[in-house]
A and B are shown apart, each in its own frame.
Chain A
Amino acid sequence: METFWFIIIAIVLAVFFILDGYDFGAGIIHLFLAKTENDKELIAKSAGLFWDSNEVWLVAAGGMLFMAFPTFYASVFSGFYLPLIIVLWLIIFRAIGLEFRGQFHFQMWKDIWDKSFGVSSLLLALFFGIALGNIVRGVNLGGVENGVSIYEGHYFFLPLWDSSFSPLSETLEL
């Protein structure tokens, strides 16, 4: 049964990346190659008409992980807390970029939301790639006793920055 659910979740994740992947890719192309207003509008439309239905697959994958592998779900969502919050914000900015750009016919308004769509798509592709890399390489997992995590502050919480990244720090590092 575990193997069955692993295969199902793998398929759902692959379908999500195939479907929403073209939205991310369209955003990247939009950012670097679309020059005329007609091209920008067409590319935004090619992603905008589909992004919401494609993300249903992400929600489905999350729901299935929660149902089938709750410990993995809890570990990953707490361990990758900050990157996941950033991903959530990027998804929001990508979506509103697509939905808002056509609401007013002011060039500056369109330019702002075009950048929001393009930059968010680029960063989302980058973040998902980093996530896949981390999952394949492995993380610094902490211990669990009787189903409860043992608090070990240095384990598997991967902040993008901490006090050592502060300009006041003597040793600057990421």
Chain B
Amino acid sequence: MVTLAIHGANWIILKTNSSINGNLKNVIFKLNIALAALTLFSLAVWKTVSPNSLDNFAHKPYLLIFPIIYLTGLVGLFFIKKLKKDIHSFVLSSLLILGGITSSLASLFPVILPSVNSINGPLTIYNTASSEYGLSVALNWGIIGFILLFVYMIIQKRLMDGKVDKMDYGH
């Protein structure tokens, strides 16, 4: 919630000339302090609940790139008042989200849903995947889907570029 509130505030600053934009930078700074505290707290809780949770990072040090992405966003946002371009703070909060999600997934890999009981094992990418044929068909459809998705995003980016203040919406 705190991460998304920071990200949303950065988006409002980036896309609007709202009168609360100046105040939002202070809000982001304060929320970032709370986020840093929550990050430490959740790491401690995570380590208590699941003692082996960080083993993947010890065995495969290249996975540390993901927590580093998160930390870059977290530390960078403490300097939000000094950043000259609004896009920079938006990129930093994007790094927070990217790093947070990828770190969580990297810590689990190849498990995708751990089991908390000792009777049934976890779901992994290997015991839940489609057959080799199914995955190759998925790839073909995936390529078509991605092309459509990227074309859509490019068109939208061109149509909605800049501040939204003068754009018509919802009437």
Contact = CB atoms under 8 A, between A and B. Distances in A.
A46 B11 CA distance: 8
A90 interface: no
Contacts of A18: 7, 94, 97-98
Contact of B110 (A6, A67, A140): A6
A134 to B, nearest CB: 9
Contacts of A36: 19
A138 B4 contact: no
Nearest to B159: A49
A29 B8 contact: yes
B8 A14 contact: no
Interface residues of B, number: 73
A43 interface: yes
Given A24-B8, A49-B167, A141-B123, A70 B1 contact: no
B113 A129 contact: no
B107 interface: yes
Nearest to B19: A39
B165 A42 contact: yes
A64 B142 contact: yes
Most chain B beta-carbon neighbours within 10 Å: one of A28, A76, A102, A143: A28
A63 to B, nearest CB: 7
A125 B35 CA distance: 14
Which 5 residue pairs of A and B lie closest in terms of their CB atoms, listed nearest first? A25-B8, A102-B170, A138-B114, A22-B11, A67-B138
Interface of B: 1, 3-12, 15-20, 23-24, 27, 46, 49-50, 53, 90, 94, 97-98, 101-102, 104-105, 107-110, 112-117, 119-123, 125-130, 132, 134-138, 141-142, 145, 149, 152-153, 156, 160, 164-165, 167, 169-171
25 contacts: A1-B135, A6-B109, A14-B101, A14-B102, A22-B4, A22-B8, A22-B10, A25-B4, A25-B6, A25-B8, A34-B18, A36-B19, A47-B11, A49-B167, A53-B156, A56-B152, A67-B130, A68-B138, A69-B130, A99-B170, A103-B171, A135-B113, A136-B107, A141-B123, A143-B119
